[in-house]
Amino acid sequence: MGQSKAGLQLESKSMLEFTLQQLQQAGCSPLGVAANRRHPIPYLFNNKYNMKITFDNELYSGPLAGLHSGLGYLKAWSEWAVVVPCDLPRLTVQALTSLIQCALGGPKPCPTVIRQGGRVNPLLGVLPTAWHHKAGHLLESGLPRADGLIQGETLRYFDVPEEDWVWRDCDTPEEWQALQSSNKLPGSQIGKPV
């Protein structure tokens, strides 16, 4: 992308602030922001989001290191954490609420991840905070891929169609421009549990 995704501007807010706002309005609290010390994050003038920034262990970086530090921080407050990256410009409170309901609303809570167009994303979902131990073990074993966290686990999938813009992230400047300028609204495509 060439710059920190957290600092990208969307309607006069950084993507970090936009994401925190969506999570807070969906009832998530406290909020943990996993960050890498090498990537600047935007300054928020006040902490109205009840959030703490946790940094990756200096030995490790990448998405799994972020999951390790974020889940480890949130473990003191909850058994579960909603995990989303800060580059989802079409994320909605309704979509987050549906995801949380899918994971925690039944008789037995279950780790739940987004499956969009058949592709599973371990960085989008509701995960047990206790998995921070597994993330740490994977990192120490030289297995830094985030999908290692969900391998061998019983999961629930929150299926969304490929064309659903709500859960689309931005990994390139072209994707950012397409998602930012798109007139497509997420509408009722909020996914369904499987």
Handedness of CA 146, 89, 73, 57 (dihedral sign): positive
- Report whether 68 contacts 143 (CB < 8 A): no
Count of helices and strands (H, E) across the chain: 5, 9
What are the pLDDT digits (tens) for 131-167? Answer: 999 999 999 999 999 999 999 999 999 999 998 889 9
Whichever domain contains 133, its CATH number is 3.90.550.10
Q: Do the bridges between strand 156-160 and strand 119-128 make them parallel or antiparallel, or are there none, so unpaired?
A: unpaired
| Contacts with 66 (C-beta within 8 Å, 6 or more apart), sequence order | 34, 35, 36, 56
**Chain centroid, CA 44 distance in Å:** 19
Token representation of residue 174: 């072209």
| Alpha helices for the chain (secondary structure H) | 15-25, 63-74, 93-104, 132-140, 173-181
Q: Edge-to-edge, what's the strand order for the sheet holding 80-83?
A: 80-83, 119-128, 112-116, 156-160, 192-193
How much is the pLDDT for 59? 65
Cβ atoms within 10 Å of 156's Cβ, excluding its own: 18
With pLDDT > 70 as the criterion, what percentage of the chain qualifies? 78
- Report whether 71 contacts 131 (CB < 8 A): yes
Number of domains comprising the chain: 1
**Chain centroid, CA 78 distance in Å:** 16
Model confidence band, residue 189 (pLDDT cutoffs 50, 70, 90): very low
The range of the structural domain enclosing residue 150 comes to: 5-193
What are the pLDDT digits (tens) for 24-81? Answer: 999 999 998 887 776 666 666 556 666 677 767 666 678 899 999 999 999 999 999 9
Q: How far apart are CA 72 and CA 58, in angstroms?
A: 15
Buried b (16+ CB within 10 A) or exposed e, 107-128: eeebbbbbbbeeeebbbbbbbb
Q: How many residues does the chain have?
A: 194
Full-model pTM: 0.84
How much is the pLDDT for 193? 43
What does pLDDT average to over the chain? 83
